[in-house]
Amino acid sequence: MTQEHSPGDTPAATPAANGAPLMLRVSPGGEAAGGSLYDQVGGHETFRRLVDAFYRGVADDPVLRPMYPEEDLGPASDRLRMFLEQYWGGPTTYSERRGHPRLRMRHAPFAVTPDARDRWLTHMRAALDEVALPPLQDATLWAYLERAAHAMVNTFDQ
C-alpha cells in the first residue's frame, strides 16, 4: 500500500524523461514501494536456500571451515540466515535470540585475512548465483555482502 499525499503536502518530485514529475512513493513504514528486500526475494525460503548453498561451499574450504567450531555447520547457518533475514526486513529473530549483531566483535577471535574474505565472497557469490535473484535484488545484496566482508578483515598476517 502506498502513502497518498494530501493537498497540502509537497511530495518529492523529479522530472521524468518526458518532463512530467516522477512521484516517489513510499509505504507508511517508510519502505520503498514494493516492500522490503526480504519480501521482494521470497522471504524465509529464499534466505534459507542462499545460506544452505553458501555453507555447502564452506564445509569443504580448508581456510574457512576451521572458523566454525561446531561439529555441524547448522548453528552457524541458522545464525547467518537469521541475521540476513532481519537485516533485509524480515523477522527480528536474530536480535531476540542473540542481541545486537556486533559483527566485528563476534569475528574478532578468528584471523579474518584477505584470503579468508575472498574465499567467503567466492562461496557467497556461488550461492547467490544458485538462488538466482532478480538483477536489482542480487546487486543490492551483493554490494552489502562485499562491504561487510571487507569490514570483517582483522589481520593481514597469513
CA distance 99 to 90: 16
> Are the CB atoms for 27 and 1 separated by under 8 Å?
yes
pLDDT per position as a tens digit, 31-57: 455 689 999 999 999 999 999 999 999
Q: Using 50, 70 and 90 to split pLDDT, how confident is the model at 92?
A: very high
- Let me know how long the chain is: 158
pLDDT tens per residue, range 111-156: 889 999 999 999 999 999 999 999 999 999 999 999 999 999 988 9
Q: Where are the domains of the chain?
A: 1-35, 37-152
Q: What does the pLDDT read at residue 69? A: 81
How sure is the predictor about 7, in pLDDT bands with cuts at 50, 70 and 90? very low
CB-neighbour burial class of residue 33 (10 A; exposed 0-12, middle 13-18, buried 19+) = exposed
Q: For position 42, what pLDDT does the model report?
A: 95
CATH 1.10.490.10 fits 37-152, yes or no: yes
Do residues 17 and 24 touch, judged by C-beta distance below 8 A?
no
